[in-house]
A and B are shown apart, each in its own frame.
Chain A
Amino acid sequence: AQSVTQPDIHITVSEGASLELRCNYSYGATPYLFWYVQSPGQGLQLLLKYFSGDTLVQGIKGFEAEFKRSQSSFNLRKPSVHWSDAAEYFCAVGARGNTPLVFGKGTRLSVIA
């Protein structure tokens, strides 16, 4: 079965600084990988996903993520953070079959002036 780890529970960055959120997964084959964002009191919104092909994936809101098979990672990056990026971020991994996604416990991002 697949699993996913988000090592950072809470990260604080300054507005305009770069951001990297870590995600490590465990799965015996090439997984499907996702990043979602959740604002307080809202549902989850898909930022980007990786199924196959180019390992650098572009998403919405200026985010990107890179699939690194050798490191079993799918880290989320943004070159310049905006105050509106403050939210909870979830990484998820899916197996190549009809089984539910497995979500990480989330990383809460705070943005300071």
Chain B
Amino acid sequence: SQTIHQWPATLVQPVGSPLSLECTVEGTSNPNLYWYRQAAGRGLQLLFYSVGIGQISSEVPQNLSASRPQDRQFILSSKKLLLSDSGFYLCAWERGQGRTDTQYFGPGTRLTVL
């Protein structure tokens, strides 16, 4: 069966510090991968998605970036965090094969920027 992991589970960082959140998927190959953010009291905002290694699509221009160094690894990064980057970050995977399918979500990372 497939599983998706995110770490860390919680993170408190000062403004201006760098960020690296990691997401890994087990039990599948060539998945589509997604990063979402939930700000307090708001819905899901799609940040990035990837259909393959090194292929990243950005949905919202901001000071975050994403990378996919391996087939089942998706990393969200920032060089300098802003207060507005606080939120709940969710990673999701979907079977690839070039068509829309069900997305399965990880447990999330709670980021607080102070």
**Which residues of the other chain, A, contact B102 by a CB distance below 8 angstroms?**
34, 46, 49
User: A42 on the interface (CB 8 Å rule)?
Assistant: yes
A80 CB to closest chain B CB, in angstroms? 27
Partner among A46, A95, A96 whose Cβ is within 8 Å of the Cβ of B104: A46
Decide yes or no whether A97 CB sits under 8 A from chain B: yes
Q: Which A residues lie within 8 Å of B42 (CB)?
A: 105
Whether B103 is near chain A, meaning CB under 8 Å from some CB there, is: yes
Q: Which residues of B contact A41 (CB under 8 A)?
A: 88, 108, 110
Q: Is B25 an interface residue (CB 8 A)?
A: no
With an 8 A cutoff between CB atoms, is B74 at the interface? no
Query: Once the chains bind, are B90 and A44 in contact (CB under 8 Å)?
Result: yes
Cα A89 to Cα B44 in complex, Å, equals 11
B84 within 8 A of A: no
Q: Verify A97–B107 contact, CB threshold 8 A.
A: no
**B51 contacts A by Cβ under 8 Å:** yes
Residues of B within 8 A of A (CB): 32, 34, 42-44, 46, 49, 51, 59, 88, 90, 92, 96, 98-100, 102-108, 110
Question: Which 10 pairs from chain A and chain B are nearest by CB?
Answer: A105-B43, A43-B105, A94-B100, A44-B105, A103-B44, A98-B98, A43-B107, A106-B43, A43-B108, A43-B106
Given contacts A46-B104, A90-B44, 6 further A-B contacts (CB under 8 A): A42-B107, A42-B108, A43-B106, A44-B90, A98-B96, A98-B98
What would be 12 A-B contacts, judged by CB atoms less than 8 Å apart?
A42-B107, A42-B108, A43-B108, A44-B90, A44-B92, A45-B105, A95-B100, A100-B34, A101-B103, A103-B43, A105-B42, A106-B44
